[in-house]
A and B are shown apart, each in its own frame.
Chain A
Amino acid sequence: MEAVYSIIPAGVLSQVFVGLSRTTILFIVASGLTLILGVLRIPNVAHGSLYMIGAFTAFTVTKLSGGGSAGFWIALVIAPLIVALISLIAERGMFQFLYEREHLMLLLLTFAFSLVFGDLVKLVWGGEYKSVPVPHIFQGFVPLFGGLPFPLYNLFLLLAGPVVAILLYLLTNKTKMGKIARAAAVDREMVGAVGINVSRVFATVFVIGCYLAGLGGVLVAPTVSVTLGMDHNLIIEAFLIVIMGGLGNIWGALLGALIFGLTQSLGILIWPKFGIIFPYLAVVVVLLFRPTGLLKSTW
Chain B
Amino acid sequence: MSRQTILGLGAGIIVLLLFPVFLPRFYVYLVSIILLYGLLATSLNLVLGYGGIFQFHHAVFYGVGAYGTTLMLTKTGLPPMLAFIVGPLASAAFGLVIGIICIRLSKLYFGMLQISLGSLVWAIVYRWYSFTGGDDGIHGIPIPEMLSSPKSAYYYTLIITLASLFVMWKIIRSPFGSALQGIRDNPVRSEMIGINVRMHQLLALVLAGFFAGVAGSLFVVVDNTVFPDMLFWTLSLEILIMCLLGGWFTFLGPMLGAAVIVALRTFVSAYTDYWALVLGIIMMLVILFLPNGILGYVEEKFKRGFMEPEIEGQ
Q: How far is the CA of A8 from the CA of B237 in the complex (A)?
A: 45
A101 touches B274 (CB 8 A): no
Q: Is A243 an interface residue (CB 8 A)?
A: yes
Q: How far is the CA of A283 from the CA of B54 in the complex (A)?
A: 19
Q: Bits for A92-106, please: 1 = Cβ < 8 Å to B, else 0.
A: 001001100101110
Flag B73-104 by CB within 8 Å of A: 1 or 0 each: 00000000000000000000000000001001
**Do B279 and A115 touch across chains, with their CB atoms under 8 A apart?**
yes
* B115 contacts partner chain A, Cβ-Cβ < 8 Å: yes
CB-contacts of B149-176 with A (<8 A): none
- In the complex with contacts A111-B283, A115-B280, A287-B105, A239-B116 CB distance below 8 A: yes
A123-B274 in contact (CB<8A): yes
Contact status A274-B284, CB under 8 Å: no
Q: Which secondary structure dominates where chain A touches chain B?
A: helix
Whether A116 and B277, one on each chain, are in contact in the complex, defined by CB atoms closer than 8 angstroms, is yes
Inter-chain contact A104/B276, CB cutoff 8 Å: no
Contact pick for A284, options B54, B101, B109, CB 8 Å: B101
Q: Does A276 contact B (CB under 8 A)?
A: yes
Query: With A101-B291, A105-B287 known to touch, is A112 a contact of B280 (CB < 8 Å)?
Result: yes
A294 at the interface (CB under 8 A from B): no
Of residues 250 through 299 on chain A, the ones whose CB sits less than 8 Å from some CB of chain B are 273-274, 276-277, 280, 283-284, 287-288, 291-292
Task: Pick out which of these stretches binds chain A: B28-36, B119-127, B139-147, B215-223.
Answer: B119-127
Q: Any chain A CB within 8 A of the CB of B307?
A: no
In the bound assembly, the distance between CA atoms of A236 and B118 in angstroms comes to 10
Of chain B, the residue at the smallest CB distance from A98 is B287
Residues of A near B120 (CB, < 8 A) are 276-277, 280
**Chain A residue contacts of B276, Cβ below 8 A:** 115-116, 118-119
Residues of A within 8 A of B124 (CB): 274, 276-277
Give the size category of B's interface with A: 35 or more
B277 touches A43 (CB 8 A): no
Find out whether the CB atom of B240 lies under 8 angstroms from the CB atom of A239.
Answer: no
Q: List residues 235-289 of chain B with CB under 8 A from any CB of chain A.
A: 237, 240-241, 244, 273-274, 276-277, 279-281, 283-284, 287-288
Given A98-B287, A119-B277, A291-B104: A108 and B240 within 8 A (CB)? yes
- Is B196 an interface position by the 8 A CB rule? no
Determine which of B115, B117, B277, B287 lies in contact with A115 in the assembled complex, contact meaning CB atoms within 8 Å.
Answer: B277
Known: A109-B287, A243-B113, A274-B124. A116 touches B280 (CB 8 A): yes
Contact B284 A112 (CB under 8 A): yes
Contact, CB under 8 Å: B116 / A243: yes
B234 at the interface (CB under 8 A from A): yes
Assuming A120-B277, A287-B101, is B283 touching A112 (CB within 8 A)? yes
* CB-defined contacts of A43 to chain B, threshold 8 Å: 108, 111-112
Which residues from chain A sit less than 8 Å from chain B, CB to CB? 41, 43, 94, 97-98, 101, 103-105, 107-109, 111-116, 118-120, 122-123, 232, 236, 239-240, 242-243, 247, 273-274, 276-277, 280, 283-284, 287-288, 291-292
New contact pairs (12) apart from A104-B54, A115-B234, CB-CB < 8 Å = A98-B288, A107-B108, A108-B283, A111-B283, A112-B284, A115-B279, A118-B276, A119-B280, A232-B119, A273-B127, A283-B116, A287-B105
27 contacts between A and B (CB under 8 A): A43-B108, A94-B284, A105-B287, A105-B291, A108-B241, A112-B287, A113-B284, A115-B276, A115-B280, A115-B283, A118-B276, A119-B274, A232-B233, A236-B116, A239-B113, A240-B116, A243-B116, A247-B108, A274-B124, A276-B120, A276-B123, A283-B116, A287-B101, A288-B101, A291-B104, A292-B105, A292-B106
Chain B residues with CB under 8 Å of chain A are 54, 101, 104-109, 111-113, 115-117, 119-120, 123-124, 127, 233-234, 237, 240-241, 244, 273-274, 276-277, 279-281, 283-284, 287-288, 291
